[in-house]
Amino acid sequence: MRVKTLCLGALCLGDATGYDIKKLFENAFNHFHGASFGSIYPSLKKLEEQGHVSHRVEAGEKHPDRKLFHVTDEGRACFLSELAGTPASEQLRSESMVLLFFAHLLPTEILQQKLAEMETHYSEELNYLESLSECSNHTSGIDFTIGMGKSVLRAKLDYLHNHRKTLLASHRDLPDSPWNAGCEQNNQQAESSS
Amino acid sequence: MRVKTLCLGALCLGDATGYDIKKLFENAFNHFHGASFGSIYPSLKKLEEQGHVSHRVEAGEKHPDRKLFHVTDEGRACFLSELAGTPASEQLRSESMVLLFFAHLLPTEILQQKLAEMETHYSEELNYLESLSECSNHTSGIDFTIGMGKSVLRAKLDYLHNHRKTLLASHRDLPDSPWNAGCEQNNQQAESSS
DNA sequence: TCTATATATATCATTCTGATATATGTTGAC
DNA sequence: GTCAACATATATCAGAATGATATATATAGA
């Protein structure tokens, strides 16, 4: 589903700025869909050109000027028909699973570290969803997505606890892996000279 | 994780063509990472420019010419160091959850249809993973990813069975939703005139 | 025979990410 | 009291990925 459509959906929940929508993607939507400023602002621009949203500028006193967006009737109708026409599907993009798929190529120490990272991430997200479900003003659909998310995270944590030892037990370090032959070309997440 | 890196990883499992790698993404990798031809072929090109892979052409008798790719020592070392440096993380992109998040805007009939679609997809993927785990030649890491996938799918199916009725019970059709005011501009998945 | 599917490579417009630039207000540290 | 870090707010851009399309041949089935 296009970010443009998601933005339209977000605005169906109430008027908002691009920044507000970004926060929605980081919070409420986060556990099933992300989006960056680089897609949100252009989307709002196009939606306005198509007449699906309009905006008014709120002059800032204690904050920068805000462009407050609002769905038009056409925009709302468009979102509803797109929603109904969207097939139910999902797609995972998991570095964790890639790491485990190639676990036999990793030294035991690193593998243990990755498993610990996974547990931390799953626990943190579960805590977040549990805090969300304490709020009482959700629609039943939203409660359903939160509940589904919690179930999935509990299943992941359980699986991790029950199978971690087995994985590590059958894991052996390779005797002479070329661990110092690292390739710098693609490790650009590292520090640059300052 | 970049498709380029995943291609390198795929080639660490054995020599392959771009087409073979696509099949790997569709099968083994499918439940945690996808990739299209439009990213695989350019990735292989760049990997070759960087000296991480090489290729030889197999002239085709019963098939088109094949470019069989092979990892170099540098490529293998590069993949290992990238793998170790990749943080464990994951990200879901789920149209199903978006649909449910906005369930209150959908007519009951459509909502039921989406829930049925979800169940079908989850069941099919579970069957696929169960058929995969019957093969006995997997590393323990691969078994772990398959097992995790199965656990997650079972959790999703359980949740769906246990909460479907509650969701539908609290769901009411809106009295006069503008269901005929559909917007054609964005419904371009429909048929074109022929 | 004719269609659909599988093998195989390649390109392209559109879309999305992740980084960066620009400004201002607030909060907390020292 | 100053200074860094963070939150609010908008916008753009290079690079990466998607999904579609083009091209060609072989096989299987209707």
pLDDT tens digits, A83-124: 999 999 999 999 999 999 999 999 999 999 999 999 999 999
Contacts of B127 (CB under 8 A, 6+ apart): none
- pLDDT band at B63, cuts 50/70/90? confident
Residue of B nearest to A176 (CA): B77
B110 alpha carbon, distance to own chain's centre: 25
Structural tokens at position B23: 């099949």
Mean pLDDT along residues B126-152: 94
Positive or negative, the CA dihedral B177, B183, B184, B189 is negative
Same structural domain, B8 and B76: yes
CA A35 to C1' C5, in angstroms, rounded, equals 37
pLDDT at A130: 95
> What Cα–Cα distance (Å) separates residue B35 from each residue in A108, A182, B14, B38, B67?
29, 26, 19, 8, 19
Asked if B172 reaches chain A (Cβ–Cβ under 8 Å), the answer is no
CA distance A66 to A107: 51
Same structural domain, A99 and A165: yes
Same structural domain, A72 and A37: yes
pLDDT at B36: 97
Q: Name the one residue in this structure whose structure tokens are 């509650």.
A: B166
Same structural domain, B44 and B19: yes
CA distance B103 to B168: 10
Burial letters for B48-73: b for 16+ Cβ neighbours within 10 Å, e otherwise?
A: bebebbebeeeeeeeeeebeebebbe
Same structural domain, B81 and B109: no
Residue B104 located in a structural domain: yes
pLDDT at B194: 27
| CB distance B115 to B97 below 8 Å | no
pLDDT at B128: 94
Give residue A45's identity as a one-letter amino acid code: K
Domain boundary, last residue among B31, B61, B85? B85
Mean pLDDT along residues B29-57: 97
- What's the full length of chain A, in residues? 194
Residue A90 located in a structural domain: no
Q: Across the strands, what pairs with B21?
A: none
Evaluate if residue A60 carries a pLDDT over 80: no
Q: Which of B89, B123, B158 is nearest to A147 (CA)?
A: B158
Same structural domain, B81 and B124: no
Rounded to the nearest integer, the mean pLDDT of chain A is 90
Task: Count CB atoms within 10 A of the CB of residue A182.
Answer: 16
Please indicate whether, in this complex, the C-beta atoms of B97 and A32 are within 8 angstroms of each other.
yes
The pLDDT > 70 percentage for chain A reads: 87
Q: Which residues of A touch B95 (CB under 8 A)?
A: 1, 86-90
Domain boundary, last residue among A35, A59, A85? A85
pLDDT at B64: 76
- pLDDT band at A135, cuts 50/70/90? confident
- pLDDT band at A69, cuts 50/70/90? very high
Asked if B145 reaches chain A (Cβ–Cβ under 8 Å), the answer is yes
Residue A193 located in a structural domain: no
| CB distance B17 to B67 below 8 Å | yes
Q: Which residues of B touch A148 (CB under 8 A)?
A: 97, 100, 156, 159-160, 163
Write out pLDDT tens, residues A23-41.
999 999 989 999 999 999 9
pLDDT at A174: 61
Please indicate whether, in this complex, the C-beta atoms of B156 and A144 are within 8 angstroms of each other.
no
Query: Which residue range is the domain that position A104 belongs to?
Result: 95-169
Q: Where are the beta strands (DSSP E) in chain B?
A: 53-58, 66-71, 90-94
Evaluate if residue A186 carries a pLDDT over 50: no
pLDDT at A175: 57
Same structural domain, A79 and A110: no
Please indicate whether, in this complex, the C-beta atoms of B77 and A182 are within 8 angstroms of each other.
yes
CA distance A47 to A45: 6
Write out pLDDT tens, residues B99-132.
999 999 999 999 999 999 999 999 999 999 999 9
- pLDDT band at A173, cuts 50/70/90? low
The CATH number covering residue A52 comes to 1.10.10.10
DSSP string of B143-191, one letter each residue: HHHHHHHHHHHHHHHHHHHHHHHHHHHT----TT--TT---STT-TTS-
Task: Count CB atoms within 10 A of the CB of residue B184.
Answer: 9
Evaluate if residue B24 carries a pLDDT over 50: yes
What number of CA atoms fall less than 13 Å from residue B82's CA on the CB side? 24
Evaluate if residue A62 carries a pLDDT over 90: no
Residue A190 located in a structural domain: no
Degrees to nearest 5, angle at CA A126 with B162 and A156:
70
Q: Which residues of B touch A168 (CB under 8 A)?
A: none
Write out pLDDT tens, residues B158-171.
999 999 999 999 99
Residue B162 located in a structural domain: yes
CA distance A171 to chain B (A): 8
CA distance B55 to B72: 10
Same structural domain, A160 and A100: yes
ipTM of the complex: 0.91
pLDDT at B188: 39
Q: Which of A73, A144, A150, A171 would best serve as a mutation to test chain B binding (most B beta carbons within 10 A)?
A: A144
Please state the domain count of chain B: 2
CA distance A11 to A152: 28
DSSP string of B94-122, one letter each residue: EHHHHHHHTGGGS-HHHHHHHHHHHHHHH
B156 alpha carbon, distance to own chain's centre: 17
Residue B181 located in a structural domain: no
- Burial class of B155 by CB neighbour count within 10 A (0 to 12, 13 to 18, 19+): buried
Residue B182 located in a structural domain: no
Same structural domain, A119 and A141: yes
Evaluate if residue B176 carries a pLDDT over 70: no
Same structural domain, B103 and B133: yes
Same structural domain, B118 and B67: no
- pLDDT band at A181, cuts 50/70/90? very low
Residue B100 located in a structural domain: yes
Asked if A110 reaches chain B (Cβ–Cβ under 8 Å), the answer is yes
Domain boundary, last residue among B85, B113, B147? B85
C1' nearest to CA of B42: which nucleotide? C10
- pLDDT band at A185, cuts 50/70/90? very low
Q: H or E element: which one contains A92?
A: strand A90-94
Same structural domain, A109 and A43: no
C1' nearest to CA of A66: which nucleotide? D9
Mean pLDDT along residues A5-10: 98
Positive or negative, the CA dihedral B24, B30, B33, B35 is positive
Mean pLDDT along residues A147-156: 98
* Angle, helix A18-26 to helix A3-12, in steps of 10 degrees: 100
